[in-house]
Amino acid sequence: AYFIRRSFSGNALYTAVFKEYVHSLLSRNTPLEYFVEGGRSRTGLLLPAKKGMLAMTIQSHLRGNSKPIAFIPTYFGYEKLLEGASYIKELGGQKKQAESLFGLLKSIQKIEKVFGMVHVNFGEPVFLDDLLKQNHAPEHVGLHEELPAAVKETVSAVAEDILENINKAVVINPVSLISLVLLNAPTHSLAERDVLQRLEQFRSFLKQNRYDARMQITGLSSHEIIQYAVKLKQIEFIEHDNERWVKVCETQDALLKYFSNNILHTFILAALVAHLLQAQLAEGNAEIDAAELKSQALQAYPELKKQFFLKWPEAELPAEIDRALAYFEAEQAVQLQEQRIYVTAADEHLKLLAAFADLYALNLKAA
């Protein structure tokens, strides 16, 4: 497969040869592994799917001689990037460096360093035959025929379901969680007591509003999370105003952004709700009708769903917004009375609302 890709990529011969290769694997019921995004995200957010391999797989299946196909979405969560320097160059616009023997030898020199863990979690399978039936796709398509519209719709549906199910299988690891806290704070630093409080609040939100049953959350305590990130040399302690503060280490800002973006989708809807409430405050209104808030959220949601591959159809959005509001009420940031939402005036509770609102305002265009 590597030889075919390197030798013929980009022309019709490559496409024909590779289609035959994929079909030969499927006809022998060989499991296939490929990265549906086509490459590494420069931001840590999921990328739109590259549909070429999916289309080849589905077309080969419709040619016949293969068993039913199930796609197994797989989430990989890292705590540190081995190729951190090259990643930062990519953020600056450089192309991703191709793998090489020299690069491998350089990486070996780093093996003795502490790089944390890699978290792997499997999402809900996507069954191809179910989607083919839903889209009324034909039962047979020649390997070199033009794909019918129903099959193209199935390819897109499979891609969307895979990406949504990868996000459902997210692992909230300690590095991603503390990165989310610190990178959305002014100067990327906070008093240690504030970091501990925010970690507890974010963890509480995740437990009360689990993004999905397959989601996993770190078992480390908030104190242990801080110590763990210090051990990985991603954050450090500093003295400020006679108090111990936690600060992102120099050169780590861009790298930690990758990890915080890995879990941003689990907070983004609540962040939108907080953003809308904060916008009301900015206009001098400390209250809003719940129906109006939901209407505003529904207007913003299609773009949000598209960017973050969120799992909720629009019909489920009002209930999810109610859950977010219930969390803010439990944290005393708002009060709910007769379909009216009142924002609490106390600074301590406003800080929590602002922390969530900033997740939306600072990250909506992260991709």
Q: Which two tokens stand for residue 331?
A: 């944290």
Mean pLDDT of all residues in 199-209? 96
Whether residue 87 lies inside any domain: the answer is no
Whether residue 293 sits in one domain with residue 193: no
Alpha-carbon torsion angle 188, 193, 199, 205, nearest 10: -120
**Locate tokens 């391999």: which residue?**
53
* 44 exposure class (CB count in 10 Å sphere: 0-12, 13-18, 19+): buried
Least-confidence region, from 38-42, 55-59, 333-337: 38-42
pTM here is 0.87
Whether residue 18 lies inside any domain: the answer is yes
Whether residue 280 lies inside any domain: the answer is yes
Whether residue 299 sits in one domain with residue 284: yes
**Predicted pLDDT of residue 274:** 96
Residue-wise pLDDT tens digits, 68-119: 999 999 999 999 876 655 555 555 555 655 555 555 555 545 544 667 899 9
Per the CB < 8 A criterion, the answer to whether 138 and 58 are in contact is no
**Predicted pLDDT of residue 4:** 45
Whether residue 274 sits in one domain with residue 246: no
| Residues whose CB falls within 8 Å of the CB of residue 359, separated by 6 or more in sequence, listed in order | 180, 184, 264, 267, 268, 271, 274
- pLDDT at 239 exceeding the cut of 50: yes
Residue-wise pLDDT tens digits, 14-37: 677 777 888 888 888 888 888 888
- pLDDT at 67 exceeding the cut of 90: no
Distance CA 23, CA 152 (A): 18
Domain boundary among 237, 263, 289: 263
Whether residue 208 sits in one domain with residue 145: no
Higher pLDDT, 251 or 364: 251
| Residues whose CB falls within 8 Å of the CB of residue 130, separated by 6 or more in sequence, listed in order | none
Per the CB < 8 A criterion, the answer to whether 143 and 173 are in contact is no
- pLDDT-derived band at 1 (thresholds 50, 70, 90) equals very low
Domain boundary among 263, 287, 313: 263
- pLDDT at 260 exceeding the cut of 90: yes
Distance CA 62, CA 59 (A): 5
Distances 287 to 70, 280, 340, 345 between C-alpha atoms, Å: 48, 7, 7, 11
Distance CA 121, CA 127 (A): 18
Whether residue 125 lies inside any domain: the answer is yes
Q: How many domains does the chain have?
A: 3
Whether residue 92 lies inside any domain: the answer is no
The boundaries of the domain holding residue 223 are 113-118+171-263
Distance CA 106, CA 232 (A): 20
> 335-363 burial, b for 16+ CB within 10 Å, e for fewer?
eeeeeebebbeeeebbebbbbbbbbbbeb
Least-confidence region, from 103-107, 223-227, 228-232: 103-107
DSSP assignments along 246-263, one per residue: EEEPTT-HHHHHHHHHHH
Whether residue 202 sits in one domain with residue 135: no
Whether residue 85 lies inside any domain: the answer is no
Whether residue 209 lies inside any domain: the answer is yes
Whether residue 245 sits in one domain with residue 272: no
Whether residue 322 sits in one domain with residue 225: no
Whether residue 196 sits in one domain with residue 278: no
Domain boundary among 207, 237, 263: 263
Whether residue 132 sits in one domain with residue 63: yes
Q: Give the CATH number of the domain where residue 333 resides.
A: 1.10.10.10
Distance CA 256, CA 230 (A): 13
Whether residue 44 sits in one domain with residue 182: no
Residue-wise pLDDT tens digits, 329-358: 999 999 999 899 999 988 888 999 999 999
